[in-house]
Amino acid sequence: MLIRNRGPARHCAAAQASGVWVLVEQQHGEPHDVSWELLGEGRRLADTLATPLTAVVAGAAEHGLEAAAGRAVAYGADLVRILEDGVLRHYRTAAYASALAGAARAHRPAVLLLGATPLGRDLAGAVATDLETGLTADCTQLAIDPESGCLASTRPTFGGSLLCTIETRARRPQMATVRPGVMPRPEPDASRQGSVIRERVDLAEHAIVSKVLAHLPEPREDGARLVDARIVVSGGRGLGRRENLALVRGLAQVLGGEMGVSRPLVQAGWAAHGRQIGQTGHTVRPSLYIAAGISGAVQHRVGMENAEIIVAINTDPDAPIFDIATYGIVADATSLLPALSDAFSRARPDPARAGEGRRYG
């Protein structure tokens, strides 16, 4: 068992690197939405640095990489580098890491961003090790430090209660992963122009140890739409009993939104992890977030505090959730939720009842 060291001669120094790269993550032809969010952020960073923004798309011929490249340009990329090879048909850490690291070594970007999805985190760690550079994971803010010209990556620490800003001064590329839903998605502009370059991928199948024997897309797990939902109704321990989660679901349905939960409910087995909102769950930025029976501990708050409007319902008037709520209601969620479902339903303009009753808007 030997230790692999590339040695300082192979490191890329700051002076030699330039350009912002964003990996467009895709599996079997489906690009992940986080890629567009990252391109939006990457555009900002590239403009600050006055360098081009490059999207990197990796996969096999059947994945429709040209189409993904086109979308990347619409979302802001100046240049797209396509890494296409049969070796990349299924995601295998070693294969993708080799391909991406190889491209980075050849072209020396200053910044490389990936989404903090399971694939992205896995790949980022492998690539950062290959390139012997710095990686900051799960960032919530990215900026260019005006003094050093470095990427200042800010992420939560100590359970989310504090933030820390991390920089990689000497090595390149400076790598960072960002969670889906943290950065806003830009508006795509189909009229944008950009170049597409196909890169040579120097990978031999026999050099990759792992073989994919089977690949099964799984049904979208419970809560998959949560991250993009405009309306989220969330329940916490204050609901008391598992059955009361149905009240949360009910209101979410009436409002055309998605249901979320705080961590204790997942731990208690009342809901799947896919519905969890918070530090170890999803981050959401809905227009409306209703927190029912949630105390608002910091681990949950970091997952929803950027919602536009927050309505908090809790029987404890001192619950921390009220510090960040737009509207606070001290009440028992189990009685208020059905009342809200009812009130919103009845407030719907009913063609049969046109002209009578309450009208909003």
Partner 1 sequence: MAMHSVVCIKQVPDSSQISIHPETNTIMRQGVPSIVNPYDLHALEAALTLRDRHAGQVTVLTMGPRSATAALRRCLAHGADQARLITDRAFAGSDTLATALVLAHAVAMLHREQPVDVVFCGRQTIDGDTGQVGPGLAGRLGLDPLSYVVEIDSLDPASRRIVVRRRLGSASQTIESRLPCLISMLEGTNQVRFGSLDDVLRAERAEVPRWSAADIGLDGSEVVGLKGSPTRVRRVFAPDPVERPTQRLETAEREPADAAAILLDALARGHPELLAELVGAEVARTGAGRTGLSC
Q: Which residues, numbered 233-272, are part of the site for partner 1 (CB under 8 A)?
A: 255-256
- Burial of 4: CB neighbours in 10 Å, binned 0-12, 13-18, 19+: exposed
Contacts to partner 1 from residues 87-106, by CB under 8 A = 90-94, 97
Residue 89 · residue 60 · CB < 8 Å: yes
Contacts to partner 1 from residues 151-170, by CB under 8 A = 152, 155, 157-159, 161-170
- Cβ of residue 22: shortest distance to partner 1, in angstroms? 17
- Cβ of residue 154: shortest distance to partner 1, in angstroms? 9
Q: For 41, how many CA atoms within 13 A lie in the half-sphere containing its CB?
A: 30
C-alpha to C-alpha distance for 356 and 230, rounded to whole angstroms: 29
Contacts of 21 by beta carbon, 8 Å cutoff, 6+ apart: 42, 54, 55, 56, 104, 109, 111, 112, 113, 173
- Cβ of residue 344: shortest distance to partner 1, in angstroms? 6
Letters for 289-308 (x = contact with partner 1 by CB under 8 A, - = none) are ---------xx-----x--x
How many residues make contact with partner 1 (CB under 8 A)?
108
State yes or no: residue 212 binds partner 1 (CB under 8 A): yes
Among 5, 146, 191, 354, binds partner 1 (CB under 8 A): 5
C-alpha to C-alpha distance for 300 and 237, rounded to whole angstroms: 12
Instruction: Name which of 57 and 116 has its Cβ closer to partner 1.
Output: 116
Instruction: Name which of 91 and 270 has its Cβ closer to partner 1.
Output: 91
- Burial of 262: CB neighbours in 10 Å, binned 0-12, 13-18, 19+: buried
State yes or no: residue 171 binds partner 1 (CB under 8 A): yes
State yes or no: residue 309 binds partner 1 (CB under 8 A): yes
- Cβ of residue 38: shortest distance to partner 1, in angstroms? 14
State yes or no: residue 195 binds partner 1 (CB under 8 A): no
Q: Shortest CA distance to 194 belongs to which of 72, 37, 358?
A: 72
Instruction: Name which of 28 and 70 has its Cβ closer to partner 1.
Output: 28
* Secondary structure class of 328 (helix, strand, coil): strand
State yes or no: residue 18 binds partner 1 (CB under 8 A): no
Residue 112 · residue 174 · CB < 8 Å: yes
- Cβ of residue 28: shortest distance to partner 1, in angstroms? 7
C-alpha to C-alpha distance for 129 and 5, rounded to whole angstroms: 10
Instruction: Name which of 79 and 88 has its Cβ closer to partner 1.
Output: 88
